Chains A and B, each alone.
Chain A
Amino acid sequence: MIPTHWFLILSAILFTIGVCGVLTRKNGITIFMSIELMVNAVNLTFLAYARQFHQVHGLIFVFFVMAIAAAEAAVGLAIFISLFHQRETIDVDEANLMRW
């Protein structure tokens, strides 16, 4: 049986990669994929602790996180399609209408 903290460390590495992608990329869809990566890292943490403490609640939370990630992906990609129709780009630096 594999110790829980190894899963936690793997989850931390994946989350860090996701943070790095959000901070350094300009392509909106790549930023979105980095966010999905972070969501999955958190799911892995939930499952690791669910096994550690023999709780089903962690699994239920992973289920809800997946449903909300699906909703988020649908709305976010619709926003990018709308942005592309108006600006001909999905570079997030070009979406500066609400910038002060």
Chain B
Amino acid sequence: MHFAIFFFFAAVAVIFALVVILHRNPVVGALSLVASFFALAVMYVLLEAPFLAALQVIVYAGAIMVLFLFVIMLLNLKHQVEPATRPIQQFLGYTGSALFGIALVYYLSKYAVTQLPSGPFVADARTVGIKLFEAYIFPFEMVSILLLAAIVGALLLSGRLSGRREVAE
């Protein structure tokens, strides 16, 4: 049963990831990426990390991808046609990444750990929270400062703080 769930959602994740990089319309790409992230959240549940599966759905599929969709719709890219990349770049990109992927899968299936983990390990919100607020409290505060800096940087880059756009007009 677990294996059927694993293979079904692995196929869903890979197919929607392929749609992201092959489809011309970025809105379709963003929605496919949301579907791929949902399949990855199922993978996290299979890996016995339900707290991070919830975070994946709420933060990634809920917040980050909505930000992407808002920006795509704000920019109104409908009238733009994405020009095709040069053939040499296409060729090198596809063959290079295919070789990279084949090598990665080969060495992972050859050398990675193949024995099963010794017992059940359920990492719920309580386990993660205790670890996060005891051993990792300093990186946690650093991340909060980083997020604040990102907010200020995003405001500055979009020209809301300095009034640069009004001056340019």
Q: Do the two chains belong together in a single complex?
A: yes
Q: Cα distance A82–B139 when bound, in Å?
A: 31
Set of chain A residues within 8 Å of B136, measured between Cβ atoms: 60
Contact A13 B101 (CB under 8 A): yes
List A70-92 residues whose CB lies under 8 Å from chain B: 70-75, 77-82, 84-85, 89-91
Contact B132 A24 (CB under 8 A): no
Q: Quick one: given A2-B3, A85-B159, A90-B75, are A71 and B109 in contact (CB under 8 Å)?
A: no
> How many chain B residues have a CB neighbour from A under 8 Å?
85
Set of chain B residues within 8 Å of A32, measured between Cβ atoms: 68
Chain B positions 92 through 128: 1 when the CB is less than 8 Å from some CB of chain A, otherwise 0:
1110111011001100110011101111010100011
Is B78 engaged at the interface, CB distance under 8 Å to the other chain? no
Set of chain A residues within 8 Å of B131, measured between Cβ atoms: 56-57, 59-60
Chain B positions 11 through 55: 1 when the CB is less than 8 Å from some CB of chain A, otherwise 0:
001100110110000100110010011001001101111011001
Q: Is the interface of B mostly helix, strand, loop or mixed?
A: helix
Q: Name the CB-closest residue of B to A49.
A: B113
Contact B37 A52 (CB under 8 A): no
Contact A51 B60 (CB under 8 A): no
Chain A positions 25 through 49: 1 when the CB is less than 8 Å from some CB of chain B, otherwise 0:
1110110111011001001100110
Q: Name the CB-closest residue of B to A24.
A: B93
Set of chain A residues within 8 Å of B114, measured between Cβ atoms: 3-5
Q: Quick one: given A3-B116, A82-B157, are A16 and B94 in contact (CB under 8 Å)?
A: no
Contact A67 B128 (CB under 8 A): no
Chain B positions 137 through 154: 1 when the CB is less than 8 Å from some CB of chain A, otherwise 0:
001000100110111011
B binding-site residues for A, Cβ under 8 Å: 2-3, 6, 10, 13-14, 17-18, 20-21, 26, 29-30, 33, 36-37, 40, 43-44, 46-49, 51-52, 55-56, 59-60, 63-64, 67-68, 71-72, 74-75, 77, 80, 82-83, 85, 89-90, 92-94, 96-98, 100-101, 104-105, 108-109, 112-114, 116-119, 121, 123, 127-128, 131-132, 135-136, 139, 143, 146-147, 149-151, 153-155, 157-159, 165
A binding-site residues for B, Cβ under 8 Å: 1-10, 12-21, 23-27, 29-30, 32-34, 36-37, 40, 43-44, 47-48, 50-54, 56-57, 59-60, 62-64, 66-75, 77-82, 84-85, 89-91
- 13 pairs of residues in contact across A and B, judged by CB atoms under 8 Å: A1-B116, A2-B2, A5-B112, A6-B6, A17-B97, A20-B98, A24-B93, A47-B49, A51-B123, A62-B49, A70-B59, A70-B147, A84-B75
